[in-house]
Structures are given as C-alpha cells and as structure tokens.
Amino acid sequence: IERIALITQADLRNIVIFPERINGRYVRLDRPHSEISSWSIWISYSTDLIYWGDSKVVMKPLTYHWDELKIGPGAPPIKTPKGWLSIYHGVFKNMSDSVYRLGVALHDLSDPSKLLGVSDKWILQPDEPYEISGYVSNVVFTCGAVPEEDGTLKIYWGGADTVMCVGEANIDELIDLCLNHSRNPM
C-alpha cells in the first residue's frame, strides 16, 4: 500500500463513503468529535477522494431519545430504488453506562444531504451476552452491510467491542421504518 494523503483532521470519526459518485463527486458521511456541538452526522463531497468540502450537518442526536448522546455512520450506504439506506449508531447514556444501538436513515438518491426519513426506533440493541459484556459493554456497532438478491440485508456489527456478529433484515421493512415511522433528523 502506498500512502497518499491524510483525508481528515484529528478526531473526525466514523467515515463511510458512498459506493458510487453522485453528480460527479464522491460523497461521505462522518462524525466530527466536538465538545462545542452535538456529535452529529455530517456529509462532505470530493472530486478526488483527498480534498473534502461542502460539509454540512444532515442529522443530529435527538434529546430524550434512544440516540440522544451521539450518533455516527456505520456501514456504507446501500442504494435502493427509494433512496440510499444508511445504518448508523446512536448512544444513550443511562445512570451507570452508555448503550450503543443501531438505527436506519434514508437519503435522497440524487442529493444525499436530503434525508427522506430516519427511523424513530432502533433496529438493533445489545441483547445477547456477547453484546452486553466485553471490552466495552452494551455495544452494537455496525461496520458493514451487504444487500442480497432476495431483498434482505446482511448487517455486520461488533458486539461489546469484543466479537463480530451478523444478522439479517428485510430492506423494504427498513425503508418502511424510515418513511412511515420517522423522527425529525435535526
């Protein structure tokens, strides 16, 4: 591997790149780590995968919600006829710990900075012993998703920052959560 460039500033985390150019540019979702603004999902654009700009917030954590502390992108977005399906993680702080869950959002196909919907409910939370107890407890953190020809989506996640897991969801049901059971993205 030949190293080419550093493509982020320090503490810019959870970057995922859309699998194809949109309107001639590469597109990425990321989450800047900031003490002065909420840990939100941003979108940025590039013509060369090195220099990124036109950045703006597309989704924020929601107060008194399962993802109220911080959110960040997970797997690269999946292109569907209804939009780009994006799996993200959200963090809720309880009295003794934090809980990382997965949610889903749907971005416009031609302008992914426009959110068509964000599911109000999480799609996965730590339930199994290997997700509840480990290096970092109470964590499911997505890192990949593969659409299958039968309309399902294989979702890969880390459990408690200790093991890797895979599960399956119906793509149409995930889209329905975004379009018909949506929360305000901002």
Looking at the chain, the whole-number percentage of residues with pLDDT higher than 90 is 87
Structure tokens at 52: 């990124």
Structure tokens at 74: 């997970």
What torsion do the CA atoms of 21, 23, 29, 33 make, to the nearest 10 degrees?
A: 120
* More confident call, 34 vs 130: 130
Q: In the CATH scheme, what is the code of domain 12-180?
A: 2.115.10.20
* More confident call, 64 vs 37: 64
Query: Do the strands 53-59 and 41-46 form a parallel or antiparallel pair, or are they unpaired?
Result: antiparallel
- Determine contact, residues 144/120, Cβ cutoff 8 Å: no
Mean of per-residue pLDDT scores for the chain: 94
Q: What is the mean pLDDT of residues 40-44?
A: 95
Please tell me the predicted confidence (pLDDT) of residue 36: 60
- 37 confidence band (pLDDT: 50, 70, 90): low
> Using one digit for the tens of pLDDT, what is the confidence trace for 147-163?
999 999 999 999 999 99
Whether pLDDT at 24 is above 90: yes
Please tell me the predicted confidence (pLDDT) of residue 32: 85
> Using one digit for the tens of pLDDT, what is the confidence trace for 81-121?
999 999 999 999 988 899 999 999 999 999 999 999 999 99
Whether pLDDT at 65 is above 90: yes
Q: What is the mean pLDDT of residues 59-73?
A: 95
* Cut 0.85: pTM above it: yes
Tokens 């949506």 appear where? 182
- Determine contact, residues 123/131, Cβ cutoff 8 Å: no
Structure tokens at 154: 């294989």
Q: Which range (13-17, 144-148, 155-159) has the least confidence? A: 13-17
DSSP code string of 92-125: EE-SS-EEEEEEEEEE-SS-TTSEEEEBSS-SB-
Q: Strand, coil or helix: what is 171?
A: helix
> Using one digit for the tens of pLDDT, what is the confidence trace for 109-118?
999 999 999 9
- 13 confidence band (pLDDT: 50, 70, 90): confident
Delimit the domains of the chain by residue range.
12-180
